[in-house]
Structure 1
């Protein structure tokens, strides 16, 4: 007679397998945070027996996700982690990962939301979401906008070194788009320091008369700024610094996209 499957036993085995996976991931998190750790330290933090930790670490070592430091006897992340991590960035598209967030911002604040990246000394808009109150229907996708006169551009500039900015400005200068455009390098550098410190940039009619915009950075898995997300609207009604929660909401959205790109806040 064929043996019957025991559903309760199968469920217990499945639960135990999930618990083991969860504990293995906890070990990886501990090693990522601490740099290295011994079996006793890991067991104490996780509140489990050392033999359980030894078994799980042994499996991780076998997969090259963890290795033992021969000098100190402690464990640290192995090269297998690098193999896994290196395959992620090339498969992540900031446009794809940001799309849902852009739409949420446009719906929440009822203005135009743009995603921009640095290309050929300009801020290039690579995606856009329109709010229901948007007066204009101009499609900014694909447009090259000046770095020094736009909120996204200033966020991207603030992430560069002074030498990198020098190279850009030698090629394109600081042309005035409107009477409010900052064309003095020293004044612009002071503003970029504020952008880096505050985590956002605001422009009032510097790129186009009647247009105000605010932008925040998007980071990749290495903590580098790879893009900027902005909200823009008519100057007569859109005052981001005075609208409660808007700047913080935009910052949170930037961090949400950054997390999707592998960023972990330090």
Structure 2
């Protein structure tokens, strides 16, 4: 019963936020009428939202409006929406150029999540990776995202055993850290049959306006087409695409000099 009540409270709190987004501001009595609850219930919900700065009370009135806390929540996801919008045409062009599947992934917790994809014309089978989460240590995108973290963040994400997916998966943290140094030196990462047997990939970092790495763009394909010998040449195109997206994201660094 307590769980049901908690869910109902969350639902009502969301209704309040939606009401304020629609109307701009409202009083406790108006909120109570909208929700069909007593004024005291509406007041308690508003107080809880106010405690997290999701709503704020207007001076000298009993009315409320949306608060600055919502900006923090929006800011946490806005760049993902923006990078998807800016990356899609670049991914489409790169996919057409190489004939392979192109993905853009961002870091979420201890995994990467794919937020954008362009399907290659020569792909053996269509697979939608958008919304799917992948491990960091066994993927090219994951290695890029790990490589550009600060030491403490990287250590946190590598503080647990690394799962083995194929015979070529790196499960030694020491070996992986050594490879991440190379990733930073080269500006791109590769994964050779580390997540799936027969699948290779190359990735490069996407930067925001301040130069921080916010995502990785990768090209993946079967090893008989995307052979290890071919990866450095493919990496040139992937890095170029990453720089293009970075410029779209407002980055005005060394990429503009190339």
Shared fold, TM over 0.5: yes
Verify: 1:146 aligned to 2:135, yes or no. Answer: yes
CA distance in 2, matches of 1:130, 1:178: 25
CA distance in 2, matches of 1:243, 1:193: 18
Q: CA deviation at 1:162?
A: 2.1
Deviations 1:97-144 (A, max 9, x none): 001000001100000000000002101111110111000211111111
Residues 241 and 216 (structure 1 numbering): CA distance in 2 closer, same or farther, change over 3 Å? farther
Verify: 1:98 aligned to 2:87, yes or no. Answer: yes
Report if the CA contact (8 A) 2:202-2:234 is conserved.
Answer: no
CA distance in 1, matches of 2:152, 2:184: 16
| TM-score scaled by length of structure 2 | 0.65
What runs of 5+ residues in structure 2 fail to find an aligned partner? Answer: 1-74
Q: CA deviation at 1:241?
A: 4.6
Aligned residue pair count = 178
Deviations 1:43-92 (A, max 9, x none): xxxxxxxxxxxxxxxxxxxxxxxxxxxxxxxxxxxxxxxxxxxx9x9577
Q: Which runs of 4+ in 1 moved over 4 A?
A: 89-92
CA distance in 1, matches of 2:175, 2:232: 28
Aligned to 1:133, which of 122, 132, 156? 122
What runs of 5+ residues in structure 1 fail to find an aligned partner? Answer: 1-86
Verify: 1:119 aligned to 2:123, yes or no. Answer: no
Q: How does 1:230-245 map to 2 (within 5 A)?
A: 230-239=218-227, 241-242=229-230, 245=233
Q: CA deviation at 1:254?
A: 0.4
CA distance in 1, matches of 2:103, 2:219: 7
Paired residue for 1:223?
211
Q: CA deviation at 1:236?
A: 1.5
Paired residue for 2:202?
214
3-state SS in 1 of match to 2:230:
coil
Report if the CA contact (8 A) 2:206-2:242 is conserved.
Answer: yes
Report if the CA contact (8 A) 2:100-2:121 is conserved.
Answer: yes
Deviations 1:211-254 (A, max 9, x none): 00000000001100000000000012212652674221211110
CA distance in 2, matches of 1:155, 1:194: 10
